[in-house]
Amino acid sequence: MQSLNLKNNLFMAPMAGVTDRAFRALVHKHGAGLTFSEMVSAKSIVYRNKNTVRLLENDLDVRPWAVQFFGHEPEILYEAIQMLEDCPYDIVNINMGCPMPKIVKNGEGAALMTNPPLAGRMIQAAVKASSRPVTVKIRIGFTRSTLNAIEVAKIAEASGAAHIIVHGRTRDQYYAGEADWAEIAAVKKAVNIPVIGNGDIFTPEIAIKRLEESGCDGIMIARGAMGNPWIFSRTVAYLETGVRLPEPSNSEIIETAIAHLHDVAAEKAKQAEEDGRKNYTVVDMRKHLSWYTKGMPGSADLRRKINAAQTADEMESLLRSLIQ
């Protein structure tokens, strides 16, 4: 882990439609040791798709961060990484865990768990192409009857991966049920490279428990950070000092949500100007604002109103109504 130059062993999971530039900046501020881009199509990079390139925009002080690639063709992955050699990121990550049908049907994401030799060739191509550490994110298997995380992890190690992240669910579970941390622990015992555990981390206490029980070198937090960047600062404090910091107040949550909202609005306005458009939308923030306000008095009615709001100012006014 030291060779990756990380400030701590708490990772923010790559999540499509969630972990954009603004979200990465926010969780970095709250102490995440490593942040990830949304999934980036290797083929789209090669074909210079403008929307894909925008996924690689990042604040200069949000370091280290990783770009997560998906694909199924080693030669395309090699070319994409070579094309991004001058891009200021720190770690290559290969997605071998996405369960979505449109990804899996192309032989990408979790489908690579069903083809370990190809998975190995993907990693080898990335290692050959990149001057940065290459890492891999997998699931424990494609189905419960075909658990093969240990096999794929050993292939990843032999192919030159610097570390491996294991999500404790099978592909056919998607995000349902419970993560199997016993299988994650078994992967940790089977390889010599660092292993990062992922699945069902929603509190600092759970994070510490999973670290201790699994023997993993780090923890990756996904849904537990949605509307809750404080999970990183609170977990860091608990790990380093044993102090359990209080949960944020509703007022602090709302102010953070508003700052997040306007950061995204500014970025959308900039992109619209670049594209020669007069109008832009912040509807992508609706889900974030729902996560921030979940459980607050009046939040159910607020979510309904936010889902009808079109502008950042409208959304801010609705958010402030919760704490007035």
Question: Which candidate in 26, 77, 98, 195 is catalytic?
Answer: 98
Residues 168/183, Cβ–Cβ less than 8 Å: yes
DSSP reduced 3-state for 141: strand
What does each C-alpha distance from 90 to 4, 18, 244 come to in angstroms?
8, 20, 31
How many CA atoms does the CB half-sphere of 124 hold within 13 Å? Answer: 11
Tokens of 318: 């609705």
To the query of whether residue 216 is one of the catalytic residues in this protein, the response is no
Q: What does the DSSP assignment read for 285-319?
A: HHHHHHHHHTTSTTHHHHHHHHTT--SHHHHHHHH
Active-site positions read: 98
